[in-house]
Amino acid sequence: MSRRQRLYWISQLSGWLSYVVLMGVLNQLTGGKFNQFVFLNLLTTFLIGILTSHLYRKLILKRDWLRLKIVQLIPRVFGASFLFGAVFILLHTLVYKLLILKEIFQFEWLEVLQLTLNLWVIFIMWSLLYFLYHFIRNYRKEEIKNLQWQALQNEIELNNLKSQLNPHFIFNAMNTIRALIAENPELAKDSVTRLASILRSSLLMGKEKFIPLSDEIRLINDYLNLEKSRFEERLKIELEISTGVSAYKVPPMLLQTLVENGIKHGISKAAKGGTLRLSIKKKDGDLYIEIENDGQLVQSENRNAEEGFGIANTVDRLKLLYGNRASFSLENKDKSFVLAKLIIPVSEHVNENNNYESTNH
């Protein structure tokens, strides 16, 4: 027996049991005595109530009334409730009066009509509860279906965003190597090997929705080493990563894109180069990430569209993955630095302490 069937029968038994108990209580309150005939009357009512309402349910399913609109359903419910109320009275009369009491039944239209109307109200109430349950259930099914569809749409959009990252990243990395070919051919060869390792890692990461922060940091280190080969002393790197956060999950290439953006659009444009600082800490159940680099954020309508690609991609991915639970900001700091702040919720719990690992390059 399925969960739905079990719930149906529990509701049937408890509903009709409550009805006959109420009849028994009213009988006592009106001065009636509880004897075997009253018990048999209540038992007959209970059993016939279950039988007739179950037959009513069969009719509903056979005629597919659950798919009807309310305007179409109302007259059918009223008519069927009256019909099954009459069937209830007929069966109850045959079983109780003719078989149990063995009385000769005298047919009186007024009494039969009154009893049928009483049962008509009971079956209308039964119908309301039955259709209300299915209405709520169907509403929840549609809501789940809509959520699944939305999740699918988000998944497709996320995959599109991730697929944009790899070509963009490759393009920037190839420009770095092209600049090295003329300056230092041997270093360019080493950089190609390093790039192959970076691409292998980024392609594997691109298949996942979330990756451990340690994998993202490893990719960032590889990328920074590649850029270090190009800029040499012009690029200084400072990493401050709280111990114990490496197991937390982040979207792949999310931080790497921001680091890449800071070097390309900030440090590379300064004659003397500059410093890139990456700080990752855990606070109040969230990851607080700051990426700071020399340069200034230029607010201009003529700004290169490519320059805003990494930022727009980051904002879109955060919105799709976390909704309003994540935040991102990019602003100038002290007229000489650009600061990117990123807060993402932590979904896993690992042991950590408050010590920090700091490295300077």
Residue 342 sits in which domain range?
Answer: 184-360
Confidence at residue 164, expressed as pLDDT on a 0 to 100 scale: 52
Q: What is the pTM of this model?
A: 0.53
- Residue type at position 195: L
Same-domain check for residues 246 and 351? yes
pLDDT in tens, the chain (361 residues): 788 888 889 999 999 999 889 988 888 887 777 788 888 888 999 999 999 999 999 999 998 898 888 899 999 999 999 999 999 988 888 887 777 777 666 667 777 788 889 899 999 999 999 999 888 888 887 777 777 766 656 665 655 555 555 565 667 667 777 877 877 788 778 878 877 877 777 777 666 778 899 999 988 888 888 888 778 888 999 999 998 888 899 988 889 889 988 888 888 888 888 999 999 999 888 999 999 999 888 765 444 544 556 788 788 888 888 888 899 999 998 878 999 999 999 864 343 443 444 445 5
The domain that holds 336 is classified in CATH as 3.30.565.10
* pLDDT score for 120: 92
| CA-angle at 312, arms to 309 and 315, nearest 5° | 150
pLDDT at 351: 39
Q: What is the pLDDT of residue 269?
A: 84
Please give the pLDDT value at position 323.
Answer: 83
How many residues appear in the chain?
361
The tokens for 214 are 């340690």
Domains in the chain, number: 2
CA of 82: how far to CAs of 78, 141, 222, 264, 288, in Å?
A: 6, 32, 79, 79, 67
Q: Are residues 349 and 202 in the same domain?
A: yes
Q: What is the pLDDT of residue 292?
A: 94
Do both 347 and 209 map to the same domain?
Answer: yes
pLDDT of residue 38: 84
Q: Do residues 202 and 253 make contact, with C-beta atoms less than 8 angstroms apart?
A: yes
Helix (H) or strand (E) holding 234: none
Q: Are 189 and 129 in a shared domain?
A: no
Same domain, 188 and 136: no
Q: What is the rounded CA–CA span in Å between residue 292 and residue 337?
A: 7
Alpha carbon distance 234, 72 (integer Å)? 78
Residue at 152 is within a domain: no
